[in-house]
Amino acid sequence: MENDQLLKEVTAKAQVWLGDGYDEETRAEVKRMLDADDKTELIECFYKDLEFGTGGLRGIMGAGSNRMNIYTVGAATQGLANYLKEAFKDLPEISVAVGHDVRNNSRKFAEIVADIFSANGIKVYLFDSFRPTPELSFAIRHFGCQSGVNITASHNPKIYNGYKAYWEDGAQIIAPHDVNIIDHVNRIKNVDEIKFEGDKSKIQIIGADVDKIYLEKIKGLSLSPEAIAKNKDLKIVYTPIHGTGVELIPQSLKNYGFENIIHVPEQDVPSGDFPTVESPNPEVPSAMAMAIAKAKEVGADLIMASDPDADRVGCVIRDNNGEYVLLNGNQICMILLNYIITRNQELGLLKGNEFVVKTIVTTEVIKAICDANKVKMYDCYTGFKWIAAVMRDNEDVLRYLGGGEESYGFLAETFVRDKDAVSACSLLAEACAWAKTKGMDFQAMLADIYLKYGFSNEVGVSVVRPGKSGAEEIQALMKQFRENPPKSLAGSPVEVVKDYLTLDATHADGTVEKLNFPTTSNVLQYFTVDGSKVSIRPSGTEPKIKFYMEVKVPMASVADYNDCGKAAAAKVEALKKDLGI
């Protein structure tokens, strides 16, 4: 009966898409799904509407209310436009910036977004071609816009596209604006309410001039120009993995003074099909294979990559055996923050009013680094919009040094309010050059950090459960972990359980304290006596439940590095077994 009711509802919803307000291609696709004997695809495409999550609007491209297409993009934009006109009704002119990545349909969606905004009397700064996501954030602040939209699905597979909405501070939208925008989108009951006919006089094309200003700002972040001058021939292999970093990241490295930037020609080709990789995600080893092969060919000192919208950075270094190994996102964040804090200290710039931000699932080694250097550290929810919120709260009060997350995102500057692979790559290369002046490579630098602040190993596991039934299974798993928390993990007693849905931290002795966070979130964390941390949450942008595991192992000397790694790996396996994953 329940399935019959669902089919009845999605059928009625789909039949609306056969109306004259929809283009012929869309109507044909919807009719095919309605006529099919198997209604699975119909249900998947219409059982819900796309909603804003931690990364905005994201979904598989195709016809339907649960798909990325000109109508779901159009409804989101019309709803956002309506809200902007309400929120900024006293301004003589409202303006927005619009950008996009290299994905299939991204330019088309971006132009439709620009048309709809302009049709609503809103001025639009539209990039002339694909650009890194952080540059869209920069443009919003640079032009004094009230909002912005970037069409991107980040590192998702090629069948996806997405819609990231930004507010006037250049950060992705959070409450109350996200809820209000959704409310305005939901008020649009008919496609005829979407103003698709643009006003070209309201659209200003932007490009190279903004690139120049943005890159100059990034150059201003440099802390060790003399180290670069000594190591300007550092062999750096960089790949954009077919994405938007192809122009600006090599330019930024050259601006910093690096002269030996080695490309992976096959992956310098911008393409929404990402033809040389299974997944365009720099945290996936296979995505780095061609860059590693090039590095072996030339004997590179450092390998870096950016994801398709150039907000995430991947990094490969040589270990003690000369093998190229992929750093995880925690290690990249750790290295960058340690470098920035250390250089600030060496230059006499630490005044006691500095702060750093990390997400709750990111390594606790960062807290140890901050504590040792008397730098204030803030924890926040997953998603760079929350890091940006902490930055906003501390603006003009404390000095921001950097912020990052385990998912390969880092931000070193305040003139952008989203993770930025352009600046991250530039500073990683600089840190590598600086380390060489100290007689170290990145492997030695990493070992030194662990020796000072404790050895840590972090592993993430994502359990994918697609579709409606998958969403229900993920909910059931979260309920199970919430109602039956483990008493011990990997042989160590659980001493604290943090539930961000209730904002309660429950200790083993039964005492409960409240967590100081701006809102609730469906995240659970278990902390053990021996320093391990497990975080569990459903993804806000993908059909998966994510497990973040961090284990600690005593490290007495640098010589213990490999043994610590083996001991930590065994501990992670024990954690997985206890969690049933």
**pLDDT per residue over 367-418, tens digit each?**
999 999 999 999 999 889 999 999 999 999 999 999 999 999 999 999 999 9
Cα separation, 207 vs 224, in Å, equals 29
Cα separation, 528 vs 364, in Å, equals 13
Cis preceding linkage at 176, omega within 30: yes
Strand partners, 536: 524, 547
* Statement: residue 1 has pLDDT above 50: no
- So what's the pLDDT on residue 264? 98
- What is residue 267's three-state secondary structure? helix
- So what's the pLDDT on residue 470? 86
Q: Which amino acid appears at position 172 of this protein?
A: Q
* Statement: residue 460 has pLDDT above 50: yes
What's the rounded mean pLDDT across residues 170-175?
Answer: 93
Backbone angles phi, psi at 497, to 5 degrees: -115, 120
Mean pLDDT, rounded, of the chain: 95
In angstroms, the first-to-last Cα distance of the chain is: 33
The answer, as to whether pTM is greater than 0.75, is yes
Compare 145 and 155 and report the one with higher pLDDT.
145
Per-residue pLDDT of 15-33, as tens digits, reads: 999 999 999 999 999 999 9
Pick the CATH number of 456-579 from 1.10.10, 3.30.310, 3.40.50, 3.30.429: 3.30.310
User: Does the CA dihedral 145-130-417-535 come out positive or negative?
Assistant: positive
Q: Which alpha helices (H) appear in 454-560, and where do they start and end?
A: 467-483
* Statement: residue 62 has pLDDT above 80: yes
Compare 53 and 444 and report the one with higher pLDDT.
444
What's the rounded mean pLDDT across residues 95-101?
Answer: 99
Copy the structure tokens of residue 447.
Answer: 């070992």
Cα separation, 112 vs 118, in Å, equals 10
CA-nearest of 359, 310, 308, 367 to 337 is 367
- So what's the pLDDT on residue 541? 65
Residue 33 region, left (φ>0) first, then alpha (ψ -120 to 50), else beta?
alpha
Backbone angles phi, psi at 282, to 5 degrees: -65, -10
**Confidence band (pLDDT; 50, 70, 90) for 160?**
very high
The single-letter DSSP state of residue 558 is: G
Copy the structure tokens of residue 86.
Answer: 């309400």
Q: How far is CA 369 from the centre of its chain?
A: 23
154 flagged as catalytic: yes
Percent over 90 (pLDDT), the chain: 91
Catalytic residue among 95, 147, 154, 423: 154
Least confident of 37-51, 98-112, 343-357, 393-407: 37-51
CA dihedral 268→430→234→232, nearest 10 degrees, is: 110
Strand partners, 163: 57, 151
* Statement: residue 193 has pLDDT above 60: yes
The CATH 3.30.310 portion of the chain extends over 456-579
**Does residue 113 contact residue 73 with C-beta atoms inside 8 Å?**
yes
* Statement: residue 55 has pLDDT above 80: no
DSSP string computed for 212-255 = HHHHHHHHTT-S-HHHHHHTTT--EEEE-TTSTHHHHHHHHHHH
What's the rounded mean pLDDT across residues 293-298?
Answer: 98
Indicate the helix (H) or strand (E) that contains 256. Answer: helix 245-256
Residue 362: CB partners within 8 Å, gap ≥ 6?
329, 330, 333, 404, 405, 406
Strand partners, 535: 525, 548
**Confidence band (pLDDT; 50, 70, 90) for 53?**
low
Cα separation, 353 vs 351, in Å, equals 6
Angle, CA of 205, 208 and 209, to the nearest 5°: 85
Strand partners, 314: 305
**Does residue 495 contact residue 487 with C-beta atoms inside 8 Å?**
no
**Confidence band (pLDDT; 50, 70, 90) for 57?**
confident
Cα separation, 139 vs 339, in Å, equals 28
What's the rounded mean pLDDT across residues 227-247?
Answer: 98
- Residue 237 exposed, middle or buried by CB count within 10 Å (0-12, 13-18, 19+): buried
**Does residue 240 contact residue 247 with C-beta atoms inside 8 Å?**
no
- The answer regarding whether domain 214-453 maps to CATH 3.40.190.10 reads no
- Residue 190 exposed, middle or buried by CB count within 10 Å (0-12, 13-18, 19+): exposed
Per-residue pLDDT of 488-530, as tens digits, reads: 999 999 999 999 999 999 999 999 999 999 999 999 999 999 9
Cα separation, 107 vs 135, in Å, equals 16
- So what's the pLDDT on residue 2? 59
What is the domain class of 48-206 according to CATH? Answer: alpha beta
Copy the structure tokens of residue 22.
Answer: 């929809």
Residue 490 region, left (φ>0) first, then alpha (ψ -120 to 50), else beta?
left
Cα separation, 262 vs 240, in Å, equals 12
The single-letter DSSP state of residue 357 is: E
* Statement: residue 248 has pLDDT above 70: yes
**Does residue 37 contact residue 17 with C-beta atoms inside 8 Å?**
no
Residue matched to tokens 């990997």 = 490
Indicate the helix (H) or strand (E) that contains 317. Answer: strand 313-318
Angle, CA of 318, 321 and 326, to the nearest 5°: 35
How far CA 64 is from CA of 25, 43, 161, in Å, comes to 12, 9, 14
The CATH 3.40.120.10 portion of the chain extends over 48-206, 214-453
Copy the structure tokens of residue 538.
Answer: 């459903």
Residue matched to tokens 């309410």 = 193
Per-residue pLDDT of 320-379, as tens digits, reads: 889 999 999 999 999 999 999 999 999 999 999 999 999 999 999 999 999 999 999 999
Residue matched to tokens 């033809």 = 275
